Amino acid sequence: MYFSIFDTYNTSKEERRRRHLSVVLLAIAVSWALWCVVSIPYYKDFSGLALLKEVGVDLAEHIVETTVLIELSLLFCAAVARIFWKQEKTFVRMLLMVLIVALFNVLCAYGVAVFYRAVYPENTTLFWRVFYTDSAMTSVLSTACLISFLISRHRDEEEAKAAAELQATEEELAVLQSKLDTLALQADNHFVFNSFSTLYNLIPEEAEDARTFTLSLSNIYRYLMMNASTHIVPVGNELAFTREYLKLINYRYSGVSAEIAGNLDGVSAYVVPVSVQMMVENALKHNRHGAEANLTIRIYKEGDRIVVENNILPRFDSPQKSGHGLKNLSSRYELLSGKKLTIENNGKTFRVGLPLLDVNEIRYESSDN
């Protein structure tokens, strides 16, 4: 690969060759201009055809000489860049790269000047003219190429890094969003079967209760279906859904009391769908409740959160605690708003704080009702 000015990873081979040729032609032009400036006193001794011949010979020599020097300089510059680019990129390291390349250019120019002095020993000023023009030309151009290379490669790597991070984030969000959407739609199989079992027992004995139970069950699944693709819902809707769920709990279990505090009335914030109900279900799942064990669940507003709190009455047959439900719900909140759940367990009470969300801080568009 050619090392050319403003070289980038994304340029084609043809474009790199074109830029490389531009650098070589620029080197010849700069070298020739410098040569003419420092050789004015020398050319004063010639006139007519002799002057044209001397200038022509010098130009031909400069074309060959400059091409060789700039090619060597760029090849060396590319090698240095590749070696140092793999290491830690600091200002001192970049400065060292420039100094190494400049030293190489000076040594090459010195070698060419020594060659000219050997070929033209009678020309006492030729050595210094060649040395000054060649070393200046190659140092300036190769350093410019090196700096542009470092800048463009750094920019390319930053863009590639940002693109990779964006892609990884998008993939992670897509996977997480899929999992969380599934989580929002999950209906516990035991809850479904137990609900229909309770309904079956109520029908022949308590027809009115059966109708009430059926209506609440219908409202629950209507809420789940309506919010299948919804990221957030108003607090009032979530609490109404939770109250319907608690009606079913009262039919199914004894020893369970739940209270929704009045300070949640009229709250205009949003929450993740089914989040409050999940915390109530979590309390029922991991605690005893019955005639000899009263499980108390409180739902209230504290600061910028809805708190679901219950006393701890560990079940003797409590299912293994995986914590996946809380982790997924916390991840969902963080995904949507950057906020997490707060979880407190002091051995006597268990509290989960659900952040109250503002619609303007949601990262996803929501089809909230």
One digit per residue, pLDDT tens: the chain, 369 residues? 344 444 545 567 777 777 777 777 877 787 778 777 777 777 777 788 888 887 888 778 777 877 888 788 878 877 877 777 665 666 777 778 778 888 887 888 888 788 878 877 877 677 777 777 777 777 777 777 777 766 776 777 777 788 888 887 777 766 666 655 555 555 454 556 666 666 666 676 677 777 787 888 888 878 877 877 778 899 999 999 899 888 888 877 888 999 999 999 889 999 988 889 889 988 988 888 887 789 999 999 999 999 999 999 988 765 556 566 788 788 888 878 888 899 999 989 999 999 999 988 776 554 444
| CATH 3.30.565 location in the chain | 186-361
What CATH architecture is 186-361? 2-Layer Sandwich (3.30)
CA 276 vs CA 173, 216, 321, 325: distances in Å? 23, 17, 19, 12
Distance between CA atoms of residues 226 and 229, nearest Å: 8
Q: Which residues are bridge partners to 258 per DSSP?
A: 297
